[in-house]
Amino acid sequence: MINNISFPNLGLEFEVNRIAFSIFGIDVYAYGFLIGIGLLLAFVYGAYESKKTDLAQDDLLNMILIALPSAIVGARLYYVAFQWDSYKGDLASVFNLRQGGLAVYGGIIGAAIAIFFYCRKKKINIGKPLDILAIGLLIGQAIGRWGNFVNGEAFGSETNLPWAMTVVHKGNFIAQSVHPTFLYESLWNVVGLIILLATRRKKAFEGEIFCRYMIWYGAGRAMIEGLRADSLYLGVFRVSQVLSVCLVIAAIGIIVYKRKKLKKPLTNEQI
């Protein structure tokens, strides 16, 4: 469970254990632990931000309680769907999350669907929780990507850049002189978090912050995914790259449409 991860050109070397600690003989993996910390901080932010809106904290908590399992299911289904050949011979392995295999986009889709149906039932403007979710996602993703570092995964193709990364496990080279794409995405999310936090009060409609999130994250993911060595493919296309571009286009379209609509004068019927 020990990975030796180094950045030779920078003179940096780390020995990291995939197991963070054990409780009653059960190993808690650093990947899951870091995701848990990210989710906790996202919840703390959500609770704080909901006080400044008319979104009830009980509703926010209920959405979180249904969104979390929905996100896990969505993340797993998304991954399995595009890696079906690895699971079709052993369907039981689909439910073994300890082997890894979760996709960020699947988690976002799963959580968004759960929140949509909750808001529809409670007659809540879905834009309000989605705007809070956008900030929470960036917090969770910025921290969670370091779980990839511990696992020695989510790296890119070979590079000669000064910050090239090498991963060794039990004396075997898993990756040598590759792009640390986990780091790229984590830093991209941190910058996006700062931007969205600074501009979250300047929105024309509920849901605009989430649209900005889709634009920022989608643009970054589309570029970074092109460097990844472990992308999920649909034919010759990288699934996450295609989806990222579609999200950016959709989000820009929604913002343009909504802002243009808000500028239209009210008709006599609307008045």
Q: Is 270 part of any domain?
A: no
Can you tell me the mean pLDDT for 224-244? 92
Concatenate the DSSP letters of all residues of 195-264 into one string.
HHHHHTT--SSTTHHHHHHHHHHHHHHHHHHTTBSS--EETTEEHHHHHHHHHHHHHHHHHHHHHHHHTS
179: containing domain:
2-201
What are 244's two structure tokens? 């990222």
pLDDT of residue 120: 94
Q: Is 84 part of any domain?
A: yes
pLDDT digits (tens, 9 = 90+) for 199-219: 998 999 999 999 999 999 999
Q: Is 221 part of any domain?
A: no
pLDDT of residue 84: 83
| Nearest CA among 24, 78, 47 for reference residue 240 | 78
CA angle 128, 132, 137 (to 5 degrees): 140
pLDDT digits (tens, 9 = 90+) for 134-147: 999 999 999 999 99
Q: Is 259 part of any domain?
A: no
* Number of compact structural domains in the chain: 1
pLDDT of residue 271: 37
Q: Is 39 part of any domain?
A: yes
pLDDT of residue 270: 45
Identify the helix (H) or strand (E) that includes residue 152: none
pLDDT of residue 83: 83
* Residues contacting 259, CB < 8 A, separation 6+: 204, 205
Q: Is 247 part of any domain?
A: no
2 contacts 9 by C-beta, under 8 angstroms: no
